[in-house]
A and B are shown apart, each in its own frame.
Chain A
Amino acid sequence: MPNGELVGKAFEIVMSLAIAFSVGAIVLVILGYNPIEVYAILFKYGYGNVKYLMNKSTPLIMTGLAFAIPSIAGVFNIGGESQLYVGAFTALMTAYYTNNPLLALIVGALAGACLGWFIGALRVYRGINEVITAIMVNWVFFYVITYLIAGVFYNPQRPHESIPVPENARIKPIGDLSVIFSIAVIVALAYYYLLYYTDLGYRLRVSGLSPSSARYAGFDPSKAVLTSMLLGGAAAGLGGALLVLGITYNIDDMLSAVYGLGFTGIGIGLLGRNHPIGIIFSALFLSGLIIGGQWVELKTGAPPELADTLMGVIVIALAIPYVYRMIFRKLAEGRQ
């Protein structure tokens, strides 16, 4: 990436964050909170506990990748949500019945990949917009897995929870090192390598930039759609598996610990500018906002959905790079 472009992208991100926090402050004032106090708590507690921050960001790195990889190939994967649910659920089942954490991770990733492929296939073979399909699939799996947890695989001792991940299949931190976070980082690096240093990655990127050039160069853009959805779905599925095996050890019957992680992944992918390394940092940043949001609730009573509001504004602001490019160009011209 040339230097000027990198600075330009950084400028877009900083602008988006500035707009988001300004809008957030206005919202807080209207609702009767002191924005300075709220933001102080948000940042102090959100980024205070590094171990917790790493754990929290693990599934989000994966759902960020689940959005980003298909995006690069020109597909809008809004189904990270359900891909994460099936990953979490199948990993839980595998861990419960086999006590094998590695197998559970693999099964979770495969389940997510299958679901991702299904959404991609409906677009390729039936021409259905992946946004519509993915949302419908998200709701179907939300309710199906809610049923499976509440009605079939519940824990007889604690009926509002699923059967647990057995003790010897849990992934524990080694000293201060979060193992699940390390796995997520390694996967992100692998995706980075795949995208920018392999033939397959090149094909995905070309197909995303211009399907007609891809066709001209002899690649099939439909294949890029399917491959990228497989890779994206696998990431989200693995994210769900890491969450269950490394953090929650079960799934509650309202799915409250898994709900929303896929949607947040969209914001993370966009904020990281769909770059695997950028995604690691944006996941850490947004996790801090989410953790901080929970503390803000404890301390001031402002609900944790503050994080959703801020993320929404960040994403809206990220949608208009044209404007930033114009401002940036004006600024650059002014300096000369």
Chain B
Amino acid sequence: MIGDILNIISNTLISMVPLTLAGVGEIITEKSGVVNIGLEGIFILSAFTSTVVTFYTGNPYLGLLVGVIVGVLSGILHGLISVYLKGDQIIAGVGFNSFAYGISLLALVSLWHSHGSSPSVNKIPMIIVGSLSFSPLTIVAFLVGFAAWWWLYKTPGGLRLRACGEDPRAAEAMGVNVYRVRFYATVVGSALTGLGGAYLVVGWIGQFTKFISAGRGFIALANVAFSNWNPLMAIVGGLLFGFFEALSIYIPIKLQEMTGRVFTAEASLFRTIPYLATLVVVAIIMKKVKMPRALGKPYIKE
């Protein structure tokens, strides 16, 4: 019993990392007034590039770094489109998701002649405390959440960023360069998402697979709404959604142990748990949240 609980806690701590990192990143982006629904695409693209780099160098930390760089580049693209070219942010995000999925699989086939998954790569070692195991990135995710909260709410820079998302015209009048703040916020948000994507491979699964992100980019977006745009709550949200994911893995294994039956077809039913839970949680919480007022609207100087 205790062993089961520790097992679920460990898996929760492992699953929460990408949801928290991308959630906190997206909070920073959205607080500035830009929405990026391309998180799923960033996850896929940075997971893939970090697999490639780790495979050829054998160094998972380098893989992690490249994942962040790919996140930065994605953020630059989304920032250019959303901020400077005043494009439709949602459409750009949808396009990016499709592009990232397509190009990663194109590259997967051309590199490894496989339509499903890459070879295994080295992983960042887990931290083991008693019977608990988790990744060092779990600690990073907690720290990132705290730091983002402190920066957003306790520093003048954070105040300026929030002003851009609430009332960009007033922010401009105060002497804030709205374009620049929004652009950097988008890049930082995407960099954190890139870190989360690279973690999927080098911190957790150990190889790139076709459906590696499996909607986690959107669960991270749900986490943003759940947290009411507060990075501290995004840590809680990451743990909560991570817990549901851990359950969806744990329940079928446990059932199999207990009954001796192999659940092949039913396994897909258990996989609905995190998505159903996300829907229910968001449906209960959402009514009370307050999003940045200028979210998703391009700022056009007069």
Residues of A within 8 A of B (CB): 27, 31-33, 76, 78, 122, 126-129, 131-133, 135-140, 143-144, 146-147, 150-152, 263, 266-267, 270, 301-303, 305-323
A143 touches which one: B89, B96, B271 (CB < 8 A)? Answer: B271
The answer to whether A267 and B98 have CB atoms under 8 Å apart is yes
Which parts of B140-155 form the interface with A (CB within 8 Å)?
A: none
**A146 close to B268 (CB less than 8 A):** yes
Choice from B90, B110, B221, B264 contacting A76 with Cβ under 8 Å: B90
Which residue on chain A has the smallest CB distance to residue B100? A312
Contact check, B110 vs A32: say whether CB atoms are below 8 A apart.
Answer: yes
Contact yes or no, B85 A303, CB < 8 A? no
Give the residues from 184 to 243 in chain B that come closer than 8 angstroms, CB to CB, to chain A: 214-215, 218-219, 221-222, 225
A131 with B37: CB separation less than 8 A: yes
With a cutoff of 8 Å between Cβ atoms, the chain B residues found around residue A151 in the complex are 264-266
Tell whether, in the assembled complex, residue A303 and residue B103 are in contact, meaning their CB atoms are under 8 Å apart: no
Query: Chain A contact residues: over half helix, strand or loop, or mixed?
Result: helix
CA A144 to CA B276, docked complex, whole Å: 11
Q: A150-B265, A316-B96 are in contact. Are A139 and B102 (CB under 8 A)?
A: no
The contact of B102 among A78, A146, A308, by CB within 8 Å, is A308
On chain B, the residues within 8 Å of A133 by CB distance are 279, 282
Q: How far is the CB of B186 from chain A (nearest CB, A)?
A: 14
**Inside 8 A of B89's CB, which chain A residues have their CB?**
319
Q: What chain B residues lie within 8 Å of A131 (beta carbons)?
A: 37, 90, 218, 221
- List the 8 closest pairs (A to B, CB-CB), nearest first: A312-B99, A151-B265, A308-B102, A315-B95, A309-B102, A316-B95, A312-B98, A320-B87
Q: Shortest CB–CB separation between residue A310 and chain B, in angstroms?
A: 8
Q: Do A122 and B283 touch across chains, with their CB atoms under 8 A apart?
A: yes
Q: Given the complex of chains A and B, what is the CA–CA distance between A152 and B266 in angstroms?
A: 10
- Contact indicator B268/A136 (Cβ below 8 Å): no
User: Which A residues are in CB contact (< 8 Å) with B94?
Assistant: 78, 266, 315
Q: How far is the CA of A233 from the CA of B215 in the complex (A)?
A: 21
Are A319 and B91 closer than 8 Å at their CB atoms? yes
| Candidates A132, A150, A315; contact of B221 at CB < 8 Å | A132
Instruction: Write the nearest CB–CB distance from A48 to chain B, whole angstroms.
Output: 23
Q: Which of B87-116 contact A (CB under 8 A)?
A: 87-92, 94-103, 105-110, 115
Does residue B261 face the partner (Cβ distance < 8 Å to A)? no
Q: Closest A residue to B224 by CB, please name it.
A: A132
Binding site for A on B (CB under 8 A): 37, 81, 85-92, 94-103, 105-110, 115, 214-215, 218-219, 221-222, 225, 264-266, 268-269, 271-272, 275-276, 278-279, 282-283, 286-287, 289, 298
Chain B nearest Cβ from A205, distance in angstroms: 18
Asked if residues A302 and B102 are in contact (CB atoms below 8 Å), the reply is no
Closest to A263 in B: B98
Q: Are A323 and B85 also in contact (CB < 8 A) when A128-B225, A303-B106 are?
A: yes
- Selected A-B contacts with CB under 8 Å, 18 pairs: A33-B110, A76-B90, A131-B90, A132-B278, A136-B222, A146-B268, A147-B266, A303-B106, A306-B102, A308-B98, A311-B99, A312-B96, A313-B99, A315-B98, A318-B91, A319-B91, A320-B92, A321-B88
| Known interface pairs A306-B106, A309-B106, A322-B85; A147-B95 also in contact (CB < 8 Å) | no
**How many Å from the CB of A293 to the closest CB on chain B?**
10
Shortest Cβ distance from A154 into B: residue: B265
Residues of A within 8 A of B92 (CB): 315-316, 319-320
- Say whether B271 contacts A319, CB under 8 Å: no
A322 to B85 alpha-carbon distance, docked (Å): 7
Q: How far is the CA of A302 from the CA of B102 in the complex (A)?
A: 12
Q: Which residue of B lies closest to A137 (CB)?
A: B279
**Which residue from chain A places its CB closest to the CB of B270 in the assembled complex?**
A143
The docked-state distance in angstroms from the alpha carbon of A317 to that of B115 is: 27
Do residues A136 and B269 form an inter-chain contact, with CB atoms below 8 A? no
**Chain B contacts for A143, CB-based, 8 A:** 268-269, 271-272, 275
B85 touches A127 (CB 8 A): no
* Docked CA distance A151–B214 (Å): 22
